Amino acid sequence: MGSPLPLRLKIHPDGHQISIDDLVDATLKLTLLHHGSLKSPRLPIPLFGSDRIAYRRLQGIYLAPQRVIGNFGFKYKSKKHKGKIKSLLHMSETIYIETSIFGYLTARSTKNLILAANIEVTRDWWTNYSGFLELYASQLVVDEAALGDEEIANQRLSLLQNITLLEPNEAAEQLVIQFLEKSNLPPKAANDAAHIAIATVHGMDYLLTWNCKHIANAQIQKKLTQICFDFGYQLPTICTPYELMGE
């Protein structure tokens, strides 16, 4: 089809008449033929997007389709079909959960009012909002979550059991090197750079973190965004749970 944007359909009064139900059904089936993605979510995308995903796959890089063309979808106002369309297209966004989030989820009570509020917000997000996204982590998250107090570490690891782990690859390793060489991330933040790189090369929509020193840092993100662009990637939206509490 060649167009990254939804097309407005026009039904002509002349010729063979077709019901709107049949029209939507046929359009969905035709669009699904252009999915192109090798990994979930298999969103429908136009052919040029399929070509880019296939090219990146040969390089060992997995891209979610929405990273290629944005949130592709049908602009159809009928409530009757809204659920059907969303279900067929698997429109869930993806999010990489960095280690600090699991730290807040399992944190002991504290008298620090700011910290206590952040803990409460994190647990609220996990309970009420995480189910609307596809959750991902990495072996690096698992390794970091296993450190420290054994009882608390086991709680963190338990939360990670049902989360898909993204595999580190050469592309992520190369991106870490670029982050450390060309941004203001210090050498001691290599693991932080790795979290960002893994989420980036795997095409995550979001990276959720409470690490505001080296990850959720606006000044650092500005430079990382440029580095990602130069190497053909798009930096995920990096945020705290406060920023993902909306609809």
Name the pLDDT band for 101 (thresholds 50, 70, 90): very high
Instruction: Identify any residues that bridge with 93 across adjacent strands, giving them in sequence order.
Output: 133
Other Cβ atoms less than 10 A from the Cβ of 76: the count is 18
Average pLDDT, the chain: 77
Instruction: Of 15-19, 131-135, 182-186, give the lowest mean pLDDT range.
Output: 15-19
132 or 91, higher pLDDT: 132
pLDDT at 132: 85
Angstrom distance (rounded) from CA 133 to CA 199: 15
Angstrom distance (rounded) from CA 230 to CA 207: 20
Q: Whose structure tokens read 């509020």? A: 117
Structure tokens given for 115: 């910290």
pLDDT at 87: 43
Phi, psi (deg, nearest 5) at residue 198: -65, -45
Name the pLDDT band for 246 (thresholds 50, 70, 90): low
pLDDT at 163: 93
Name the pLDDT band for 79 (thresholds 50, 70, 90): very low
With pLDDT > 70 as the criterion, what percentage of the chain qualifies?
65
Query: CA of 136: how far to CAs of 10, 41, 146, 160, 199, in Å?
Result: 40, 12, 17, 9, 9
pLDDT in tens, 161-181: 989 999 889 999 999 999 999
Evaluate if pTM is beyond 0.95. no
Average pLDDT of the segment spanning 43-67: 51
Angstrom distance (rounded) from CA 97 to CA 100: 8
Residue 41 has pLDDT above 70, yes or no: no
